[in-house]
Structure 1
Amino acid sequence: MAEFLLFMAACVLLSVLCGLARVLRGPKDADRMMAVQLVGSGSIAALLLLASALGDAAAVDVALCLALVAAFAAVAFALGLRQGAGE
């Protein structure tokens, strides 16, 4: 079972790498922000899969902190767009 979870974590990290390519060359800021959200979500998923496969409880704590940072980043981006629009 642990091998399957590690394989799935590798698959998720591969999708995160694809998201990083979109961050670097995204045509608009919204595309880049969505890619950053993909990177955050994918990283959280990979950490949770690794924690389950390896039995490491500390990785779950790191994943929760990363989820909090990703949520704050999304709110900051939305507020930045709102201020840039002149509201």
Structure 2
Amino acid sequence: MSTFLAGLAVFLLLNLAAGLWRVWRGPSAADRMSAVLLFGSTTVALLLVLAELGGEPALRDVALVFVMLAAILSVAFVGLPRTRNDGRGSGR
């Protein structure tokens, strides 16, 4: 069982690396925000796997904090006003 959890942890770390590439290369803010939310959920999964693998129940509390931060971040991103950047400046 511990071999499976260690393999799962490595897979989740590779998933984080793929998300980092998307943040760096993302063509739009929505793509980058999706990758950041992927970071949040993958980090939670990784913390839960590490809590089970290492017998550290405090990591579950840290995972819960990451869940709350990701929820706040997604609500804040959706609530941001959208601006149009068409090159005309602030005047019309």
Q: Normalization by structure 1: what TM-score?
A: 0.90
Higher relative contact order (CA 8 A, sep 6+): 1
- What RMSD, in angstroms, separates the aligned Cα atoms of the two structures? 1.4
Please name the residue that 1:78 is paired with. Answer: 78
User: 1:3 aligns to what?
Assistant: 3
More helix by share: 1
Unaligned runs of 5+ in 2: 85-92
Per the alignment, in what secondary structure is the counterpart of residue 27 of structure 2?
coil
CA–CA separation in structure 2 for the residues paired with 1:56 and 1:2: 14
Equivalent in the alignment of 1:68: 68
Unmatched 5+ stretches in structure 1: none
Q: Does 1:17 align with 2:17?
A: yes
Amino acid at match of 1:19: G
Deviation beyond 4 Å, 4+ runs, structure 1: none
CA–CA distance in structure 2, aligned partners of residues 66 and 44 of structure 1: 6
Per the normalisation by structure 2, the TM-score is 0.85
